């Protein structure tokens, strides 16, 4: 090993999800400067972005993605990594089915009586979004439930339309009422964050473009293999038990192979925690500063369970899964007549028709609390390529998500036929409560880089795969790696995240680095 190689900074990356892998990939472009060890307690990388095998003869596909399904067009960094390894995301037209029954159901596919009922509320919601935008960050931190009351929206409008919409796409689950209004406004208006455009007639636009991810297991495996070939070390099935010591130039971590009884201590120049905030605090233990305890302690997590199953009877009982005339309001425009024609069963054989991907179910006792589901057969692209040799119609695959185990007394999980369950997965999910945007998001910059420690993960802002990727890249950039500018939109998103989470202006940093390089030549 050369003298130059011996002087490389040894970086520990804790966590092999999207943030950890993005950080490792960005640092790996400078292996003359960095020695990289990624530590992951699971046997594979990818975090929540996993895949599970299926019986192809039974379901029409040999795999399905689990934990992470897809994203919107803003996922530039995610798609960039996918393309590098031959796993491009596939375009789909988003279809949703909210609620059950004529008095609760609405969709973005055709006009419904509920949308007609809340016509004035939907139109005023546009004004609401403008006021929140003008008043950021003052009113932006106020929970959406309070602001809806202040603006005199009907309770049913919030319970039946606003909360289910936010919960489903932001992943806020049963904490939706506590989500700050500013995040809701950003999801509609911020070019870098919005998942959909506000529609003054239907709230959610008709069939917006979304993307379904390719096989996540294969993608993350290929990504790891490539980084390994470049010199990145992966310590899989390895637990970080505690932080032994930290200083300005050194971090010592106590590690344990999950198959061994003995622990070991390893020394690193810097560490990037790409683990969840509460897990990071556990690892830091007594070595956590008061600032880190205040910031990381502001992130709340909830335990949810996803059940992958094939129980169509359960699904039809709890959701509106097909076009019904009584669920459709009288059209008032040519566009609405076309929507109804598109959604009707007569067109479904041509590949169109009402085939929802996302669903929500609300509880009678508390309509602000929900269950969520996916019809994965309608959503994930591999199911849309039927095997003509298989004469049997494929059996649909569903995923139903039951939120917050502390409210499991409300769950309908026991109604799913146990014989039709493929898999159960517990997830530890971020709740985007208002306190998160008061303590965590604006204060991340004050703990980054102190005591040779950095933090990354979607929890630093909002729970999206794209944010996780950008956070990992930003941590690597902060340590001295270059940012690869491949798309103007992506660069703008990265710049805003870098300023928010690290307190650095990208343009100034690039100018400083350019001057430093010119002086060194």
pLDDT tens track for 226-269: 999 999 999 999 999 999 999 999 999 999 999 988 899 999 99
Share of the chain above pLDDT 90, in %: 73
Q: Which residue has the tokens 């991810």?
A: 213
Instruction: Give tens-digit pLDDT for 424-475.
Output: 999 999 988 889 999 999 999 999 999 999 999 999 998 899 999 999 999 9
404: tokens are 């917050």
pLDDT, mean of residues 377-381: 93
pLDDT at 518: 60
Which is nearest to 397 in space by CA: 123, 44, 66, 170?
66
CATH fold for the domain made of 9-49+216-289+447-520:
FAD/NAD(P)-binding domain (3.50.50)
Which is nearest to 31 in space by CA: 472, 452, 476?
476
Instruction: Specify burial of residue 456 (Cβ count, 10 A radius: 0-12, 13-18, 19+).
Output: buried
H or E element in which residue 453 lies: strand 453-455
**Residues facing residue 245 across a β-bridge:** 252
pLDDT, mean of residues 56-74: 91
Q: Are 430 and 19 in contact (CB under 8 A)?
A: no
Q: Are 173 and 403 in contact (CB under 8 A)?
A: yes
Q: Are 354 and 348 in contact (CB under 8 A)?
A: yes
Query: What is the C-alpha separation between 27 and 34, in angstroms, rounded?
Result: 7
* For the chain, domain boundaries: 9-49+216-289+447-520, 51-212+302-431
pLDDT at 511: 77
**390, pLDDT greater than 80:** no
pLDDT at 388: 52
Instruction: Please give the DSSP secondary-structure letter assigned to residue 286.
Output: G
243 compared with 210, residue with greater pLDDT: 243
Helices (H), 252-305: 277-284, 290-296
Instruction: Give tens-digit pLDDT for 69-103.
Output: 888 889 999 999 999 999 999 999 889 999 999 89
Number of Cβ atoms within 10 Å of the Cβ of 91: 12
Instruction: Give tens-digit pLDDT for 137-192.
Output: 888 899 999 999 999 999 999 999 999 888 877 776 677 888 899 888 888 888 87
pLDDT at 38: 98
pLDDT at 385: 67
Averaged pLDDT of the chain: 91
Query: What is the C-alpha separation between 321 and 36, in angstroms, rounded?
Result: 48
Q: Is the dihedral of CA 480, 34, 273, 236 positive or negative?
A: positive
pLDDT, mean of residues 338-353: 72
User: What are the C-alpha distances in Å from 224 to residues 12, 314, 365, 417, 432?
Assistant: 16, 39, 47, 37, 30
Query: What is the C-alpha separation between 198 and 195, in angstroms, rounded?
Result: 10
pTM of the shown model = 0.92
pLDDT at 422: 97
Instruction: Give tens-digit pLDDT for 97-149.
Output: 999 998 999 999 999 999 999 999 999 999 999 999 999 888 889 999 999 99
Which is nearest to 425 in space by CA: 31, 165, 10, 42?
42
pLDDT at 1: 35
């Amino acid at each position: 090993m050369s003298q130059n190689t011996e002087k490389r900074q040894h970086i520990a990356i804790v966590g092999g999800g999207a943030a950890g892998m993005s950080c490792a990939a960005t640092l790996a472009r400078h292996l003359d400067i960095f020695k990289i060890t990624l530590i992951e307690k699971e046997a594979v990388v990818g975090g929540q972005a996993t895949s599970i095998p299926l019986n192809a003869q039974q379901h029409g596909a040999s795999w399905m993605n689990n934990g992470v399904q897809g994203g919107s067009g803003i996922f530039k960094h995610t798609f960039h990594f996918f393309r590098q390894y031959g796993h491009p995301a596939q375009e789909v037209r988003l279809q949703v089915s909210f609620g059950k029954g004529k008095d609760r159901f609405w969709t973005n596919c055709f006009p419904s009586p509920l949308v007609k009922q809340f016509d004035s509320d939907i139109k005023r919601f546009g004004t609401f979004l403008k006021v929140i935008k003008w008043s950021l960050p003052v009113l932006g931190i106020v929970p959406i439930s309070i602001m809806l009351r202040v603006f005199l929206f009907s309770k049913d409008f919030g319970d039946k339309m606003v909360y289910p919409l936010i919960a489903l796409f932001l992943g806020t689950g049963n904490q939706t009422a506590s989500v700050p209004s500013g995040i809701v406004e950003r999801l509609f208006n911020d070019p870098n964050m919005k998942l959909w455009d506000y529609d003054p007639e239907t709230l959610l636009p008709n069939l917006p473009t979304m993307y379904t991810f390719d096989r996540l297991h294969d993608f993350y495996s290929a990504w790891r293999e490539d980084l390994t070939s470049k010199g990145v070390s992966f310590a899989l099935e390895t637990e970080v038990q505690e932080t032994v010591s930290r200083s300005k130039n050194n971090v010592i971590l106590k590690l344990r192979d999950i198959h061994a009884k003995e622990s070991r201590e390893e020394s690193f120049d810097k560490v990037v925690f790409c683990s969840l905030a509460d897990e990071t605090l556990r690892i830091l233990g007594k070595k956590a500063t008061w600032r880190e305890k205040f910031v990381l302690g502001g992130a709340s997590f909830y335990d949810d369970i996803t059940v992958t199953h094939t129980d169509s009877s359960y699904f039809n009982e709890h959701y509106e899964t097909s076009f019904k005339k009584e669920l459709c309001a009288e059209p008032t425009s040519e566009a609405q007549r076309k929507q109804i024609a598109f959604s009707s069963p007569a067109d479904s054989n041509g590949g169109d028709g009402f085939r929802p991907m996302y669903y929500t179910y609300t509880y009678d006792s508390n309509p602000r609390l929900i269950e969520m589901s996916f019809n994965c057969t309608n959503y994930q692209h591999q199911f849309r390529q039927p095997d003509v040799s298989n004469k049997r119609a494929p059996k649909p695959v569903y995923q139903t998500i039951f939120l917050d185990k502390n409210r499991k007394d409300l769950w309908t999980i026991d109604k799913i036929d146990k014989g039709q369950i493929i898999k159960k997965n517990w997830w530890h999910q971020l709740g985007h409560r208002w306190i998160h945007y008061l303590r965590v998001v604006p204060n991340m910059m004050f703990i980054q880089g102190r005591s040779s420690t950095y933090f990354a993960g979607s929890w630093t802002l909002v729970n999206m795969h794209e944010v996780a990727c950008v956070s990992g890249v930003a941590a690597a950039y902060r340590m001295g790696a270059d940012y690869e500018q491949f798309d103007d939109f992506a660069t703008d998103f990265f710049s805003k995240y870098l300023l928010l989470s690290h307190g650095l202006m990208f343009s100034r940093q690039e100018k400083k680095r350019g001057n430093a390089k010119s002086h060194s030549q």
